[in-house]
Amino acid sequence: MKWFTLLKKENPNLEIIINGGISKISDIKKHLHFCDGVMIGRAIYQNPYFLTEIEKDIFNFKKTPLRQEIAENILQYLEKEVKKGTKVNHIMRHTVGLYHGQIGSKKWKRYLSDNMMARDSDFKKAKHIMEIVQNNEKANQNL
């Protein structure tokens, strides 16, 4: 028995959340047999859409958003935040991995880095982002 399994067994009142290098649904499920939670850092940062898999497969969500819907929501959020003085790049740098593993991932990253990653990036550039999103969605549907 692994030491952390024993830790929970001998201290059932302790809340134990495991983390470090966990990046697959099957591994999350395995860990949940003996831990109270699983924390995921780098895998989500690299591929934030993995969160929708977690919603479906771990939390049994019936419906999860499409990347296009996520992008639309980000833009609405960005618009509100920019009005409050938040920098465009502070938000958009966290969306770099939205198309991780998909057709169009490079285009998405390039658009962000050319237009939205500078300290003085302008919100107006964000409006063209939906063109990239729509092209990517089409390309991935035609697979």
Ligand X SMILES: Cc1cc2nc3c(=O)[nH]c(=O)nc-3n(C[C@H](O)[C@H](O)[C@H](O)COP(=O)(O)O)c2cc1C
Q: What residues make contact with ligand X under the rule CB under 6 A?
A: 19-22, 39-43, 45
- Per the CB < 8 A criterion, the answer to whether 121 and 89 are in contact is yes
73 burial type by CB count under 10 A (0-12 exposed, 13-18 middle, 19+ buried): exposed
Q: How far is the CB of 83 from ligand X (least distance, A)?
A: 26
**133/141 Cα distance (integer angstroms):** 12
7 half-sphere exposure, CB direction, 13 A CA radius? 10
- Select 13 or 59, whichever has its Cβ closest to ligand X: 59
What are the start-end ranges of the H helices in 47-127?
Answer: 50-57, 67-83, 88-92, 105-115
From 81, 88, 112, select the one nearest 98 (Cα to Cα): 112
Q: How far is the CB of 44 from ligand X (least distance, A)?
A: 7
- Select 12 or 20, whichever has its Cβ closest to ligand X: 20
Q: How far is the CB of 137 from ligand X (least distance, A)?
A: 26
Q: How far is the CB of 23 from ligand X (least distance, A)?
A: 7
- Select 21 or 85, whichever has its Cβ closest to ligand X: 21
Q: How far is the CB of 94 from ligand X (least distance, A)?
A: 8
- Select 7 or 66, whichever has its Cβ closest to ligand X: 7
- Select 43 or 74, whichever has its Cβ closest to ligand X: 43
Listed in sequence order, the residues at least 6 apart from 135 whose beta carbon sits closer than 8 Å to its beta carbon are 104, 107
